Amino acid sequence: MHRAHKIQLKPNKEQQIYLNKAFGVARFAYNYSLSWWNDVYQLSLTDSTLPKPNQLEARKHFNMVKDSEFPWVREVTKCAPQYSIMNLGKAFDNLFKKNGAYPKFKKKGNNDSFQLDNTQFKINNKKIHIPKLGWVRLSESLRFDGKLLNATVSKRANKYFVSIAVELPDPTPKPKPINIGGIDLGVREIVESDGTIHRTPRSYRKNQRILRRRQQSLSRKVKGSNNRAKAKQKVAKAHFDIANQRNDFTHKLTTNLVNKYATICIEGLAVKNLTKKGKYKSGLNKSILDSNFSEFRRQLQYKAKANGTQIIVADRWFPSSKICSNCSVKTKQKLQLHIRSWICENCGASHHRDINAAKNLKGFAVSSTVSACGEFLTSELDSSIPIQVTFVKQEVMKGKTW
């Protein structure tokens, strides 16, 4: 299996200049090749005998002209332009597979990065060796011990990072009791089927006032001035801190869940559809994106694979909130989002909306396990066990990077 460890770099001023040059070369190679790609494609439309562009031809063309027209690209590692053009080819592959949009030209300061293959860098404790730069200090040691695959150097909020991919042997699942749990995701809380409620940090909402003031300050600065550049860095730092708080909560919770349960059932939410623009939806869309649903599922799945936990995804149309977990009868009530509790008209059971949904997801996981394995524990189907509602408050570490 492949794992990546993202570590903050501690470069000096000279090393920062080199890294910024490498970002610029990678960005230039991408934009130059995209322009060439567009021109060649237009020519192929007018003359069918001409070949259509591809990633290999784009690299050959750039290597042919770089020494005569762009000799300054030699000042940095050869991997910077090479991998940048390869990423352009992957972008077009995703376009043809209908998994992405048409590639756009890159702008300075937006997702600056360049890649290195495993022959172009070395790791020695808390240092990394980059070609034509030398050893650069790392904030921590690489936590994985395996074959180095590649490294991606990036910059965000005026900080430099390197993400190192490592090939590891398939992990041996740790023995754990057969414990099935359902997880209901919400914009304010994430609920487990045993009644545990985790309050989401809502980091964007809590920092929205600070972010608004910094953006207002940025809008008043003269374009091209040093003060505008400083204000822009403050806005970037605010976004960076918000993302770190959100990811810190998600990492801690997903790790606890895969260690606690042998089987986890979650909802197959279509976040892209949930956040479509619409009347009276801007506030809800903002809260949904702030809840990190897609990242929660991604982390849960790769951590489950490493811990031997089974993930079951319920169909997005599964009415987990409307089914009574006591009598399994679907209610005819219109349960709008502001309704947090309801009473079943069939058996009279009172339900907390999210706990009831989590219990139904657990039942869905039990039925899936039975159909797949043909066996289950009777304790997993005992609905008479009282559910104790407990609130778990997790400390959010500001500035934490993963």
Alpha-carbon dihedral angle through residues 281, 316, 2, 192, given to the nearest 10 degrees = 90
Question: How far apart (Å, rounded) are the C-alpha atoms in residues 8 and 2?
Answer: 20
Q: Which of 112, 184, 194, 290 is catalytic?
A: 184
Exposure string (b/e) for 35-65, b if CB count within 10 Å is 16 or more? ebbeebeeeeeeeeeeeebebebbbebbeee
In the residue annotation, 375 being an active-site residue is answered as no
Choose among 179, 187, 180, 181: nearest CA to 353: 187
Residues facing residue 104 across a β-bridge: none
Alpha-carbon dihedral angle through residues 101, 105, 109, 112, given to the nearest 10 degrees = 70
Question: How far apart (Å, rounded) are the C-alpha atoms in residues 307 and 255?
Answer: 9
Q: Which of 192, 248, 267, 290 is catalytic?
A: 267
In the residue annotation, 194 being an active-site residue is answered as no
Choose among 319, 153, 340, 180: nearest CA to 263: 180
Neighbours of 243 (CB within 10 A): 17
Q: Which of 192, 194, 241, 354 is catalytic?
A: 354
Q: Determine contact, residues 18/72, Cβ cutoff 8 Å.
A: no
- DSSP alpha helix (H) spans, 261-327: 271-274, 282-290, 293-307
Q: Read off the amino acid at residue 59.
A: R
Question: How far apart (Å, rounded) are the C-alpha atoms in residues 23 and 116?
Answer: 12
In the residue annotation, 354 being an active-site residue is answered as yes
94's tokens: 């995703």
Question: How far apart (Å, rounded) are the C-alpha atoms in residues 265 and 161?
Answer: 34
Active site positions, annotated? 184, 267, 354
